[in-house]
Amino acid sequence: MDKHRGGNTCKRYSNAQVVYAKTDITAGSKGITAFIIEKGMPGFRTAQKLDKLGMRGSDTCELLFENCLVPEENVLGEVGKGVYVMMSGLDLERLVLAAGPLGIMQACLDVILPYVRQREQFGCPIGNFSLYRIVLELYLLQLRVQPKLLCRQNNVWEETDM
């Protein structure tokens, strides 16, 4: 491999990572292969940390390849079948990423509830107005249902051979 690749998450501190590279430029998506790249592999290094808008809890940095020779045993799956390797991990990734917004929803609720109880308009708390009550009830419904759906999806994922 001999290219610059950026935007990979948590790679700066890991001992190995999965990298997808074009091995046949004429084959479209069938020309992508998945590789396991190990820390300290000749021709591979990490570069600057990249700043990003969200998900700051996971470090993102550039990966640099300069005449990096990847041994055949580091091919993940089959040559030209990297798209399938990539897609096989998306179910778990989506499941893991779905948990974050639930925490954000709860944090928002922790701010909203005291506000609608304290803020007064026309002599009474705004939480007494039907529009606010309906919106909050729908929000609370989502906040109660989503964790159950997430747990159910997790159970389904664990029961399958992935």
Residues 7-24: tens digit of each pLDDT: 555 566 778 888 888 888
Closest CA to 31 of 89, 65, 78, 68: 78
User: So where are the chain's domains?
Assistant: 4-88, 92-159
What mean pLDDT comes out for the span 147-160?
A: 87
Mean pLDDT of the chain: 85
Give whichever of 24-33, 88-97, 111-120 has the largest mean pLDDT: 111-120
Instruction: Give domain 92-159's CATH architecture.
Output: Up-down Bundle (1.20)
pTM for this prediction: 0.64
What does the angle CA 62 – CA 67 – CA 81 come to, to the nearest 5 degrees? 75
**Which residues are tagged catalytic?**
93
What is the rounded distance in angstroms from the CA atom of residue 118 to the CA atom of residue 146? 28
Residues 44-88: tens digit of each pLDDT: 888 777 777 776 677 778 888 888 888 999 999 999 988 888 888
Kindly indicate whether the domain formed by 4-88 is annotated with CATH number 3.40.30.10: no
